[in-house]
Amino acid sequence: MEPITYLWVLLSYFGDIAYWLGFAISFSFIYPFLEKKEKRKHVWILHYLLPAVLLSYLSSFFLKLIFKVPRACVALAYCPQTYAFPSGHASIAFAFFTVVFLKFKRRPHIYLPMLLLALLVCYSRLALQVHTLSDIIGGSAIGVMLSLIWYYFFKVIKTRKKSLHFYFRKFIHLGGVFIILLRLSIEVKYVFSFTALLTAMFFASEILRLRRICLPIFCDISMFCKKKEEKGFLIEPFLFGFSLCILLLFSLDFFLAGSLPLIIGDALAGLIGYRFGSHKLPYNKIKSVEGSLTFFASTFIALLFFFSFETSFLLSIFSTLLESVLRKYENLLLPLGCIVFYAFIK
C-alpha cells in the first residue's frame, strides 16, 4: 500500500460510524462527572452533534438498502460489502460540519477547518475508489439536511418545552411512519433490530432516570415528552415501541392493520382533539368527537392504500370505537385489538 493510501484510510476514519460510536460512548461516560459549568458548555455535543451524526448514518444505511446501488470497487482488493449510495462517510462528515457551523457560525476559525476535514473525508472515499461522486454528493446532502432539521427542531423544543411538550410527543408518535416505510422497503430483520434497540434503550433510560441517573439524549427526550401529571415510568412511549416490535413479527398485512391506526390515526386524532376538541365523548371525557372523526378519516385513508374498501372501512370503524373507549395502555391495546379484528374479517 502506498503512503498516500494510508493517509486516505486515516481520513476515512473520521467519517466511520465505529469512530463516532466510540466517541459517543466515551463522552457519555465522562459527561456525568463534569462540573455544572462544563456540562452546560459541552451539552451541545449530546443534544445536537451526536444525534445528527447518528440520524445521518442511519438514514444513509437504510437508503442503501432501498436503492441497492452496487459499489464501483468490486474488482479491487479492498471493497466494502455494503451498497454504495448514499455514502455513509460523507453523511457523517457533513453532519459533523453542519452542527459545528451552526454552533460556532460567528467563529470561522473553528468551522472552516471542520469544513476542510469533511471535504477531505469525502475525497478519501473517492481516492480509495469505494464511492463515486454521486454517492458522495448524496451522502453530503443527507448529512446537511438532517442536521439542519434536527438542530432547529430540538432548539425550538428545548427553549419552549413547556408549551410544546404535547406536540413533541405526537411528533415522536408520527415518527413511526419511518418504521412503516422501512418495513415496506427493506428486510424486516433490519427494521426489527432497529426498533427493538431503540425500545430497549428507552426502557433502560427510564429505569435509570427514576434512580436519578440520566442517560444522555434518551433522558432529555423523556423530559420533553413527559406529561405534567406523569411522575413515574413513562409507560405509553415504551408501549409504543414495544407494540411495533410485536407487529414486526407478523406478516406485512397484519403489521399494517395494526400500525396504521396506531401511528397515523392516533397521532392525528390527538393533535386535532387537542387543538379543536370542544365536544367530549359522553362515555370518555378525555376523548373528543373531533378527535374520533379525525381518527376514522385518517385511518381509513391510510388503510385504503393497502387494503380493499370493505376491509379498510370495517377496520377503521372498529379501531375508532376501540380507541374512543381506551383510557390507559392505548399504545398496546389498540394495535393488538386491530390485528385480532383483522384476523377475524380477513
What is the reported pTM? 0.69
- Which residue, of 129, 159, 189, is where some domain finishes? 159
Would the pLDDT of 261 be above 80? yes
- Which residue, of 136, 159, 182, is where some domain finishes? 159
Would the pLDDT of 322 be above 80? yes
Considering the domain architecture, whether residues 74 and 150 belong to the same structural domain is answered as: yes
Would the pLDDT of 158 be above 80? no
229 vs 108 pLDDT, higher one: 108
| Residue 82 near residue 64, CB atoms below 8 Å | yes
Q: What is the pLDDT of residue 147?
A: 94
DSSP 8-state secondary structure symbol assigned to residue 71: P
Would the pLDDT of 340 be above 70? yes
Would the pLDDT of 161 be above 60? no
Considering the domain architecture, whether residues 191 and 324 belong to the same structural domain is answered as: yes
Cell (9 digits) for 93 = 462528515
Cis check for the bond before 86: say yes or no (omega within 30 of 0): yes
Q: Which domain holds residue 96?
A: 1-159
| Residue 122 near residue 93, CB atoms below 8 Å | yes
Considering the domain architecture, whether residues 61 and 182 belong to the same structural domain is answered as: no
Would the pLDDT of 114 be above 80? yes
Percent of the chain with pLDDT over 70: 92
CB atoms within 10 A of CB 2: 7
Residue 70 CA to residue 329 CA, distance in Å, equals 45
Would the pLDDT of 94 be above 90? yes
Per-residue pLDDT, averaged over 266-290, amounts to: 86
164-190 burial: b if 16+ Cβ within 10 Å, else e: ebebbbbbbbeebebbbebbeebeeee
Would the pLDDT of 26 be above 80? yes
* 24 closest CA partner among 60, 53, 67: 53
Considering the domain architecture, whether residues 151 and 134 belong to the same structural domain is answered as: yes
Residue 110 CA to residue 125 CA, distance in Å, equals 24
Considering the domain architecture, whether residues 240 and 317 belong to the same structural domain is answered as: yes
Q: Residues 130-135: contacts with CB within 8 Å, 24+ apart?
A: 130/71, 130/72, 130/73, 130/78, 130/79, 130/80, 130/84, 131/71, 131/72, 131/84, 131/87, 131/89, 131/90, 132/72, 132/84, 134/85, 135/69, 135/84, 135/85, 135/86, 135/87, 135/90
Number of domains in the chain: 2
Considering the domain architecture, whether residues 183 and 117 belong to the same structural domain is answered as: no
Q: What is the pLDDT of residue 116?
A: 95
Considering the domain architecture, whether residues 104 and 177 belong to the same structural domain is answered as: no
Per-residue pLDDT, averaged over 112-120, amounts to: 95
Banded model confidence at residue 162, pLDDT cuts 50, 70, 90: low
Residue whose C-alpha cell reads 374520533 in the numeric block: 292
Summary mean pLDDT of the chain: 87
CB atoms within 10 A of CB 87: 30
